[in-house]
Amino acid sequence: MRLYIITKRTLFSIGFCLLIGVIAGGIALTSTVQAIQTASAQREIPIYCVDTDKKQVALSFDAAWGNEQTEHLLDILDKYNVKTTFFLVGDWVEKYPESVKEISKRGHDVGNHSNTHPHMTQMSVDDMNTQIQTCNEKIKTLTGKCPTLFRAPYGDYNNDVVKTVKANNMYCVQWDVDSLDWKDPTPNQITLNITNKLKDGSIILMHNGATNTPEALPMVIEAIKAQGYEIVPISQILLKGNYTTDVQGKMLPAQNATS
């Protein structure tokens, strides 16, 4: 049997090695946390919903292709005295100028949904600017107002997209409640898709050309109001002044940002 004798020098060496290991582990952990925090701080996130204590939600429609149902949707919204937001593609604006004027005339927000509905994450910043500014010019020519709201086609964004939108003095807006009307579910299911996920400050996504949206819209409005919510345009629900967005895309006052 071999006998090991532990001297003070051995104990000191062991203790020193353990100390070095603890310090190294601490440095590695700190570096990892800092890297995660830095990556989070650098990530640009659009507005998915708004931090508010008001019982309000915003209803929005994307218009990129057809126009057969727009007038009907506007009439339903008028019937319920509800104002919403329409995000329009520049090509759509060119094809249906009278509808663009009518949307604005009836008091709805007119937002920018790009000029040709591309995947903007695959474009240069110059091309992104062209997409945004060309659509803005088309809308302004017809309505007299330059849009302040932008929604990326396909909901597809990255840091450059969000930064470019902000550089054009616009809000980059997504949604936190998807009606999934573009999948052509039943009107009842569209209503449930919305009402099951609502919260104060929610932004709801619908489409002007989805098959069952006109039939679902009265049910959606009545169900939202039954939950005690007021339906307002996105421009009305957004916070005023400096803001930030958290990791979920909730719009917060800048002073509430966490470091």
Rounded CA-CA distance 158/177 in Å is 20
Q: What is the DSSP string of 167-199?
A: HTT-EEB--SEE--GGG---HHHHHHHHHTT--
Rounded CA-CA distance 2/255 in Å is 67
Instruction: Indicate if 207 belongs to the active site.
Output: yes
Beta bridge partners of 230: 56
CB 204 within 8 A of CB 57: yes
User: Which residue type is seen at 57?
Assistant: V
Q: What is the DSSP string of 28-92?
A: HHHHHHHHHHHHHHH----B-EE--SSSEEEEEEEESS--TTHHHHHHHHHHTT---EEEE-HHH
Catalytic position from the list 51, 62, 72, 160: 62
**C-alpha distances in angstroms, 178 versus 43, 182, 183?**
23, 10, 11
Catalytic position from the list 176, 178, 207, 246: 207
Give every CB contact of residue 91 below 8 A, 6+ residues apart in sequence.
Answer: 64, 115, 116, 117
Kindly list the catalytic residues. 62, 207
